[in-house]
Each structure stands twice: as C-alpha cells, then as structure tokens.
Amino acid sequence: MRILVLGGTVFVGRHLVEAALADGHDVTLFTRGLTNPELFPQSEHLVGERGEDVVALEGRTWDAVLDTSGFDPAVVERSSKVLAGNVGIYAFISTISVYRNYGAPGIDEDSPVARLDDDELIARRDTGAYGPRKARCEEIVTEAFPEQTLTVRCGLIGGPHDNVGRLTYWPRRVAMGGEVLAPGAPGRMFQVIDARDLSEWVVRMVEQGRAGTFNAVGAATAFATLLDVSKDLTGSDATFVWCTDQFLVEQGVAPQTELPLWSPVRPGSDGHYGISNERARAAGLALRPCRDTIRAVLDWAGDAPARAVGAGGAVGLSPDRERELLRAWRRS
C-alpha cells in the first residue's frame, strides 16, 4: 500500500510509520520538517505547514492516510479538501476526550460527544475545548471521506519515544527509590495503551480497508500494579505512600501533570478510566502486558530524570515538591 502519514516523526506518528514500514508499505511523510527530520530516510518526505501550505499534497494519490496531527477544525478541513477523492481509507487519530462525560463508567463508541458551534470553536483555543475541537475534526473527515473514515479514539498512550511522559514518569521515579508519593488508592484503575500496539493495529485496519469508530484504549490496570512492576523491574528500594484524592486536591496538585495518570474521582465517575475497548478488541486490537510496556519505557528512557519536559510542559513532581507533599501528608 501507498500510505501518507500526516506527521510521523513524533511518538505515535513515529510508531505508525515503523509499523507501516515493517509491513512492507510505501510510506510518505508530510511534516514541517522541524522535528526528527532525519528519521525514515527510506521514505518520501514532503514538507509543508498543513494549516497554511498543503501544495505538496495536491494531485497526489495514496491508498490510505494516517492523520496524527489533526487538532484544529479549520486545518483539518483544508487538508481534507485537498485529499478528498484521492485516497482510500482515512485513519484519523482522535481522543476519548470527545465524549461529553468521559469520566462516567461504561463509555463506549455510541456515547454522546461534546460539541461547540463553529464560532465557539474559533474563539476557544483553551484546553477545555480540546474534546469538542477533536469531535468537530472527526465530523469534517467523515464528511470528506464517507464510508472511508477510520476514527481511532485513543486514551492515554505510553511507550518508547513518549513526548508527553505521563507513563514514563512512574517507572523512572520508582527506579530512583526512596519514598514515592502514590496518588489515590492502590486499587485505582488506569488505562494506557502501548503506542506499538495502537500503531500495529491501526496499520492492520487500513490494510483491511476497515472504517468505523473505535476506542483504542488499554486494559484497566491497578495503579499498585504499575508501581510494583516498576519496582520489580528496577530492583528499587522504593516504598509507596498512598495519599488520598482529598488531600491532593487540597494541596493543589495538578492532575495528569504533577501526578501523571491521576485524576480525583468525581461523583458518578471512576477517575475517567472506564472506557470500553470491546469493539476494538473484536476488530483485532491486541494488548501486550503492562510489564512489557514498562520494561520498554525503562530501556528507552535510560537514566533520564523522572520529571521531564514533554509536549505540554513539565510532567511529574519535582523532588522538592514531592518531599513537601509527603511532609504535609504526615502532618494531616
């Protein structure tokens, strides 16, 4: 197959290209040429800014498109118009944040999505509009490619080359040993999909010409399992101090950033890790054990600090902030 990847040199896009090349496909990357441009020299590289300059895509045909970089509805509409009629399957990498209440248990692909009108989408660029903006992007792609759109709604993603660092923080922090502030309760569940599992499945889906909407999320895993496996793999002397949601909220701890993978449980919520992946599993999504993902993350991250600067800024507690919180917890 001839596959166009919109993006392709950062995290998920990188894994998608690797999966496509491993299956023998002819891959073209369309990027700004700014991040990791040296990757995949065996592939064609087209350079442009999809929000402003998509000339390089005009008059070209591909069997499939893998869109990893569509966030702005106006930008997605521009590139969709250029590609409409010239591609087969269009795989749009979306997010579970499109759901109106993705913190509620039992969310599946038929659950209602959040929407804003076009004027609101133009006016709002804040993170609170992320879900509705992605939902509108889904609609735009589906309108341009009816019967040809594969919408992949991802949750949290982990694995090598992670440019966000949410999963990566925990095994690296455990490896450093000592008292580790652990959020919530040991049995709190989270869902992270390995970027390699996600990418291999998406490539298989486009190979089969599969369309439709799927939640590509990981299996529910207890937080204690993540920490215990990390301790076992690293031989660390870490001990875990479990601090309640109430305490962490009172201390102003930022969910997902200062404490990655953690969000306080709201009434009627299970911490937004109750997303159904049954449809994707039925369509062949295979998930490797979390132990394998953690081992790969440790091998990739090496001796990098636990707290790292990702695409959205610093992720994880600084050592001073963690010690401060642990002292406050003991006084509480």
Question: Within this chain, do residues 167 and 253 fall inside the same structural domain, yes or no?
Answer: yes
Residue 213 lies in a domain: no
What domain range includes position 25? 2-154
Please tell me the distance from the alpha carbon of residue 245 to that of residue 263, in angstroms, as a whole number: 8
Residue 186 lies in a domain: yes
User: Of 92, 189, 196, which Cα lies nearest the Cα of 144?
Assistant: 92
The pLDDT of residue 312 is 55
Which residues are bridge partners to 190 per DSSP? 221
Do 62 and 79 form a contact (C-beta atoms < 8 A)? no
Do 215 and 111 form a contact (C-beta atoms < 8 A)? no
Q: How many structural domains compose the chain?
A: 2
Residue 206 lies in a domain: no
The pLDDT of residue 118 is 61
Residue 50 lies in a domain: yes
The pLDDT of residue 22 is 98
The distance between the two most distant Cα atoms of the chain, rounded to a whole number of Å, is 67
Low-confidence ranges of the chain (pLDDT < 50): 270-272
User: Can you read off the two tokens belonging to residue 77?
Assistant: 């509409």
Residue 110 lies in a domain: yes
Do 167 and 297 form a contact (C-beta atoms < 8 A)? yes
Question: Within this chain, do residues 101 and 245 fall inside the same structural domain, yes or no?
Answer: no
pTM of the model: 0.93
Question: Within this chain, do residues 238 and 119 fall inside the same structural domain, yes or no?
Answer: no
Between helix 195-207 and helix 11-22 the angle, nearest 10°, is: 50
Do 88 and 62 form a contact (C-beta atoms < 8 A)? yes
Burial class (CB in 10 A: 0-12, 13-18, 19+), 139: middle
Q: What is the CATH number of the domain that holds 18?
A: 3.40.50.720
Domain boundary residue, one of 154, 175, 200: 154
DSSP classification of residue 277? -
Which residues have CB under 8 Å from 279's CB, separation 6+? 108, 109, 212, 214, 215
Question: Within this chain, do residues 170 and 84 fall inside the same structural domain, yes or no?
Answer: no
Question: Within this chain, do residues 83 and 55 fall inside the same structural domain, yes or no?
Answer: yes
Query: CA distances (Å), 148 to each of 141, 145, 209, 315, in order?
Result: 9, 5, 8, 37
